[in-house]
Structure 1
Amino acid sequence: MRKRIIILIVLAIGLIIGYNYIYQDHRDIESENAKYKMTTSDIALSFSENISESEAKYLNTTIEVVGKISESDSHSITLDDKVFCQFTNAIQNTIKPNSQLKVKGRVIGYDDLLEQVKLDQCIIAN
């Protein structure tokens, strides 16, 4: 009888630990400090020279990028045709093309067809 109780307690503790490990809180990019601060040219050059090394360095990290807006819509901005920034919330209509902008976001990869670095969970850091 004691063995069963001990086994049930150990099993319950294991289930609680496993549940907490699997269902962790999501990252809050807005409150994180940027690990790297750079221009769009710097990060695009880094990825175009050596994709695997750059992915190892930047992938899933929070960065801050400065560049001119080349394209924008309600949930995304492209800076200097080199960095694509996807926002969680809708962007204000006050943003104008060719204006300088600082964006903070998480690097999710590099699109070698369009030659763009992809960021998500972005916020405007100006």
Structure 2
Amino acid sequence: MKKLLLPLLIVAALAIAAYWYVFHKPHRDLIHENAAFSLSATHLMNDFQKDRSLADSLYIDQIISLKGVVKELQEAALILEPGIYGSLDSTASMPALKVGDSVQIRGRVLSYDELFEEVKLDFVQFENQ
């Protein structure tokens, strides 16, 4: 019985440590995280259209800063030319924009949708607005 007690205590301690590490690590602060890339909306779209796998490895799940022209406005989202769809962060508010205005935004790249030829972003916030 004494031979089993020490290994059981070690296994229990490792299990507790693994649980604590997995479920109690801090979350990413996407709002205050620095942008990994700063580029134009056209440049981002060209990168995805030229080499999808390279663009995926560079941009997916990264915070980027984009400059572009507003193509369409929605209640909690916007589309920049040539096809960058960004859904606003829940704490961000839509400034008074019109179609054709030039904006600078930052957000996390989620994916490239080949069907609609759109790059999708979330947690979008407006810079310098």
Normalising by the residue count of structure 2, what TM-score does the alignment of the two structures yield?
A: 0.83
Which residue does the alignment assign to 1:85? 86
Unaligned 5+ segments in structure 1 are: none
Secondary structure of the structure 2 residue equivalent to 1:74:
coil
Secondary structure of the structure 1 residue equivalent to 2:7:
helix
* CA drift at 1:72: 2.1
2: CA distance, partners of 1:119 / 1:111: 11
Normalising by the residue count of structure 1, what TM-score does the alignment of the two structures yield?
A: 0.85
2: CA distance, partners of 1:21 / 1:95: 44
Deviation digits for residues 55-89 of structure 1, max 9, x if unmatched?
01111111111111222223211111421111231
Which residue does the alignment assign to 1:22? 22
Secondary structure of the structure 1 residue equivalent to 2:71:
strand
Runs of 4+ in 1 over 6 A off after TM superposition: none
Which residue does the alignment assign to 2:75? 74
Structure 2 counterparts to residues 32-111 of structure 1, below 5 A: 32-89=33-90, 91-97=92-98, 98-111=100-113
Deviation digits for residues 77-112 of structure 1, max 9, x if unmatched?
111142111123165353312222111111111011
Unaligned 5+ segments in structure 2 are: none
Which residue does the alignment assign to 1:31? 32
Aligned length: 126
